[in-house]
Amino acid sequence: MNNEIYELLYHYNEEGHEGYDLNEVQLLEMKDFDRIEKLKLLLHNDNQYIAYQAMIILLAWAIPEGFQQLDKFISEKWDEKENFEPHRIHSEDNVYDVISNALYISTLNGKSIEELYTYIKHFLSIYGDKFFESNLREFLLKKNCRPLLKEIEQAVQDALQNRRYYQASQLFPVIVHYDKNSFDKYRDVFMM
């Protein structure tokens, strides 16, 4: 990775803080127009990992091209060709959980939750097969995802069926958050 790309993806300098961190770049309040345009160009980089990281930033900043790239990422199943976010303990790719965090940040930059429901539904549909740490759960708890309760419950069932018990339990507080009466329904499943 050349220095210009490295600076573009990782450098931040805001409110007296400066450093190199992709997460901090996603949270920048001041978005430079030139930087946005260069990040859009990186979406077409031959290195899919670089294109993915540019996508993460553009998603967080609620830039339309980031969402177009996410559509491509999902439809072309990039996650099946490369490991983008290897989990530090488990050997599984945590890419969709990291994307969930970028989508959450996009709501802080003006993206409506309703515009994101399609992506969240997709993530819930693959929840039983893919690894998710905690960002999707946080998204579901912090944003109004009550209309997705049926999909959340199905994600729990899928995770249980695939013996992803801890992952299934991550969504228990989400279900109870949206439907207090469901506590008794799921209590025995998760408190064995």
> pLDDT for 42-74, tens place per residue?
999 999 999 999 999 999 999 999 999 999 999
Q: What pLDDT, on a 0 to 100 scale, did the predictor assign at position 91?
A: 77
192: pLDDT strictly greater than 60: no
Q: Which long-range contacts (CB under 8 A, 24 or more apart) does 5-8 make?
A: 5/42, 5/45, 5/50, 8/35, 8/38, 8/39, 8/42, 8/54
Q: Write down the domain spans for the chain.
A: 1-65, 83-192
pLDDT band at 75 (very low <50, low <70, confident <90, very high): very high
